[in-house]
Amino acid sequence: MFALIDGNNFYCSCERVYRPELKQQPIIVLSNNDGCVISRSSEAKDIGIKMGVPYFQIQHLIQQRKLTVFSSNYELYADLSRRMMNTIASLVPAIEIYSIDECFADLHNLNNLHQLGHNIRNRIQQWVGIPTCVGIAPTRTLAKFCNHLAKRHRHHFNGVIVWTDWNSNIQQRALASTPVNEIWGIGHRIGQKLAAQGIHTALDFINAHTPTLRKQFGVVLERTQREMQGLPCSELIINEASRQHIVRSRSFGNIITSLDGLQAAISHHISAGAAKLRQQNSHAHIISVFIYTNRFRHDQSQYNGYQSIKLPQPSADTLTLNHIAQNLLRNIYRPGYEYKKCGIELSGIEPAQTFQQQDLLYPNQHNHRTKLMSAWDNITSRYGRNSIQLGSELQSNHWHMTRAQLSPCYTTQFLEILTI
């Protein structure tokens, strides 16, 4: 058996932990640059605020309704997430952290799952202050499904649903009342294609002809169907896998036209990406750089620049990677455009300790840099991410994000600790 535990409206709930007066109030959290809505309290949903709408389109609601708005504070959310996961881990044999706000738990050979579900919920509420819902079922997809139902009917089920506690009659009713595109793994596109064939509900889906599904949509959807039927096709992934792609990108707070501004941003992203590579003890073979103009401005000419290069030797060295990235940037930069976003991608990632083919013409010149990079990592882990920066990062701060409604980092910054 598996459980799926997930924080309700997670970012909003995090903001409320240290602002208890906002319970029962409509609140929202915005994406980077205060762009659009990415988390809503249930009261905010009730007044009609949709997921993903641009902030500027709902500013009238804010004046009318006393809506409270937050810029996203990932430092706070990541710390509360860590506490939530540790709390869950203290109650079950193993967990798989699936995203910042949810995890799967292994419940094999445990009894009284309903009570366990409530214990998990209550302990997270008490220790961390985040409300959650719990779905428990024989497969991960069904656990997601139960969690979904527990959220939808939170007051009826008190946040916990155990699939196997239901008789088949109730199970069928639950399946029949859920649109097929609310199943985990069925998105917009496949949902539409299924609907065109008369498969509208989760019940239709589990009764659909399996070989036909397989032929049309492939093995992924077949597995989803099997899991919905109660046949496990996936297990918990306990060890955090290393990333195979690392992307760092940002929209700018302001428009950037100059190469300088882009160079500063690219240096910053490279520095973050390279640190991530080293953190997972890996090297990248391929480095890409991209720059975009604002795709929403139909009145302006658009330009998307992208260039990628394969390195002779894989690297996790900030200086080497930045040097190459800056060359790529110079290649794709075109003056005269208003740039809105840029970023980097590191791919072709492999573990650092594997044998590396040496370059015949340029024998390994990076060894002496390894010590420099580990000193770098030690300093930043002790004094903070920005305690060391590349000089080129400091050429311009024009690209930094807008975060006008940022809450304090209550749990991670001494100067911002809550005082009464």
Partner DNA sequence: TCTGGGGTCCTAGGACCC
191 binds DNA (CB under 7 A): yes
Between 159 and 343, name the residue whose CB sits nearer to DNA: 343
Residue whose CB is less far from DNA, 121 or 341: 341
If binding is defined by CB under 7 A, does position 102 make contact with DNA?
Answer: yes
303 binds DNA (CB under 7 A): no
* CA pair distance 62, 48, nearest whole angstrom: 12
Q: How many residues bind DNA (CB under 7 A)?
A: 46
Q: Binder to DNA among 33, 68, 87, 407 (CB under 7 A)?
A: 33
Nearer to DNA, 251 or 320 (CB): 251
Among 296, 355, 362, 414, interactor with DNA by CB under 7 A: 296
**Binding residues among 305-334 for DNA as defined by CB under 7 A:** none
Which x/- pattern, by CB under 7 A, does the window 104-143 give for DNA? ----------------------------------------
Rule CB under 7 A: say whether 60 interacts with DNA: no
- In angstroms, give the least distance from the CB of 78 to DNA: 12
Based on CB atoms, which residue is closest to DNA, 110 or 185? 185
Interacting positions 253-272 with DNA (CB under 7 A): 255
Using CB under 7 A, list all residues that contact DNA: 31-33, 35-36, 38, 52, 54-56, 98-99, 101-102, 144, 183-191, 218-220, 241, 243-251, 255, 276, 294, 296-297, 340-341, 343, 401
